[in-house]
Amino acid sequence: MRLTDYEVLTFDTYGTLIDWETGIYTALGPLIAMLDDAPTRDRVLELFAEAEAAQQTETPSMIYSELLSTVYRTMARNWAVKVDPEESARFGASVKDWPAFVDSRASLQYLKQHYKLITLTNCDRISYRGSAERLGNPWDAIYTAQDVGSYKPSLQNFDYLLEHVKTEFGLEKTDILHTAQSLFHDHVPATAKGLATAWIDRRHDAEGFGATMPPPGDYRVDFRFKSMADMVRAHQDALREG
């Protein structure tokens, strides 16, 4: 199994290409500032992960900006803090402000020379526009949770991906390498669907799972890289080796 064996790289965006943990924590700043005894950054991210996953299960058709606003209110309620609708709406609209990892844009530009690039994201269409621009608009296709009507790790999202890759590009499951950071959102369901996977282990030097829940089942990782830049170097090595 080699990186050069595939025709399509399908990506998760948030946590993989966009530094959503920095974006989330920064956007939660006004809420955290209201607390007398604020949790650590990692604990805040864990609490976000719990609230987000629960809300996505409860309301799978809610678009992501609205879902984030609801999560903000849930976290405020759990901390016994009162917030007004404008505050939660600002958090819901914050996706456009979340920064890209420093290696994402250049790595995607390189990989686009060798693969079709598709993202399977839990975002909504409007919120994703800012992220796509930050990444240099590299995508051949963008499949959002809003399009599917459910959120990863639902297998429905991966069924949608496989169906559309086949109908739009004439390619099969064996042509796809699914590339993602989140074991919970991506690697467990991708493994269940029989996809090859590349783990961009952005939290390789940190404990815990940050803004994602722990993986709820078995998963397989075919390639593991600490960054997108590492993936690019591995691809270049594979080309040199022939």
What are the DSSP calls for 63-78, one per residue? -HHHHHHHHHHHHHHH
Instruction: Give the three-class secondary structure for 185.
Output: helix
Q: Are 46 and 210 in contact (CB under 8 A)?
A: yes
Query: Which strands, in side-by-side order, build the sheet including 141-144?
Result: 141-144, 116-121, 8-11, 176-180, 196-200, 223-225
Query: What angle do the packed helices 64-78 and 85-92 form, to 10 degrees?
Result: 130
Give the pLDDT score at 76. 97
Q: Are 144 and 118 in contact (CB under 8 A)?
A: no
pLDDT digits (tens, 9 = 90+) for 130-158: 999 999 999 999 999 999 999 999 999 99
Two tokens, residue 99 = 């920064």
Pairing verdict, β 176-180 and 141-144: unpaired
Give the pLDDT score at 1. 86
DSSP state for residue 136 in the 8-state scheme: T
Is 0.85 topped by the overall pTM?
yes
Residues of the chain falling short of pLDDT 50: none
Instruction: Give the three-class secondary structure for 192.
Output: helix
Q: What structural domains and CATH numbers belong to the chain?
A: 3-19+99-241 (3.40.50.1000), 21-97 (1.10.150.750)
- Which amino acid makes up residue 37? D
Which pairs from 69-78 meet CB under 8 Å and 24+ separation?
Answer: 72/28, 72/31, 75/28, 75/31, 75/47, 75/48, 75/51, 76/31, 78/47, 78/51
In degrees and rounded to multiples of 5, residue 138 shows phi and psi of -90, 0
Asked whether the CA dihedral 184, 187, 191, 193 is positive or negative, the reply is positive
Active site positions, annotated: 12
Helix (H) / strand (E) containing 31:
helix 29-32
